[in-house]
Amino acid sequence: MLNIVIFGPPGCGKSTQSARLTSKYNLVHLSTGDVIRKEIKSGSELGIELESIVGKGELVPYNMIIKILESALVQNKNSNGFIFDGFPRTIDQAIDLDKILAKDKQEISTAISLCLHDKKAIERLLNRAKLEGRKDDTENVIKNRLKVYEEETYPLISYYHSQGKYLEVKGDCSINDIFYNITNIIEEKMALAQIDNNILNIL
Ligand code: AMP
């Protein structure tokens, strides 16, 4: 299985790239943000609760997120793998994701961070607000989301680095260039993993 984590500050383009990677490698795209927005749109009691959290740019409590994750993993047990888009967002979530995958003898293959300066992120998200009207794309909420990213999600870099799984791609280029760079590093990584496997088989 190919299990890819993709993360980066809001506006880095992780959802666009995740959708492309999903179709290129025939994976399941798990976007916790999309699942949350669907629940909000449904107008359910849970959706109303989620809306007040997401609307402030805060992270949704872990007990809610973990249910989304576990149900997606169970429903897609026989897939080629997952693109985890928006999960994990904290070190605790990353540790739990590793544990959950390990139960099925699976692991994260690689974690890709899309880097983008705050100024560019704010500019992109304010433009997206005009096109899509996402309620959490207002300037104050964007600034809070960037702060939450810095404090909670940025530390994932050292987490995955220490596992030898961290890869970095510049998010300040065209969609096609970013995709080209991501697929290049994934394929390099897969080729190296294949070589390791062959060596283990020979031994
Ligand atoms: P995204 O579409 O990934 O930008 O997510 C939109 C919002 O959903 C975030 O700002 C959070 O409020 C919430 N969210 C998405 N994924 C998570 C997660 N793994 N943990 C906590 N909150 C999340």
Class of domain 2-27+79-116+154-202: alpha beta
Average pLDDT of the chain is: 93
Strands (E) in the chain, as ranges, are: 4-7, 28-31, 82-85, 110-115, 166-170
> Above 80 in pLDDT, residue 54?
yes
Mean pLDDT of 74-83: 91
Ligand 1 pocket residue status of 86, Cβ below 6 Å = yes
Q: Whose CA is nearest to atom 6 of ligand 1?
A: 33
Are the C-beta atoms of 22 and 29 separated by less than 8 Å?
Answer: yes
Ligand 1 pocket residue status of 14, Cβ below 6 Å = no
Query: In this predicted structure, what is the pLDDT of residue 133?
Result: 83
pTM, two decimal places: 0.93
Q: Which atom of ligand 1 is nearest to the CA of 85?
A: 3
Q: Which atom of ligand 1 is nearest to the CA of 148?
A: 10
- What is the sign of the dihedral through the CA atoms of 155, 161, 163 and 169? positive
Name the residue of 41, 54, 91 to mutate for ligand 1: max ligand atoms within 8 A of Cβ: 54
> Above 80 in pLDDT, residue 178?
yes
Are the C-beta atoms of 135 and 56 separated by less than 8 Å?
Answer: no
Give pLDDT tens digits for 2-11: 999 999 999 9
> Above 90 in pLDDT, residue 96?
yes
Tally Cβ neighbours within 10 Å of residue 118.
16
Are the C-beta atoms of 53 and 84 separated by less than 8 Å?
Answer: no
Query: In this predicted structure, what is the pLDDT of residue 117?
Result: 95
Q: CA torsion 23→8→43→93, rounded to 10°?
A: 100
> Above 80 in pLDDT, residue 15?
yes
Give pLDDT tens digits for 135-162: 888 999 999 999 999 999 999 999 999 9
Q: Which atom of ligand 1 is nearest to the CA of 10?
A: 4
> Above 90 in pLDDT, residue 132?
no
Q: Whose CA is nearest to atom 19 of ligand 1?
A: 87
Cα-to-centroid distance, 190 and ligand 1 (Å): 29
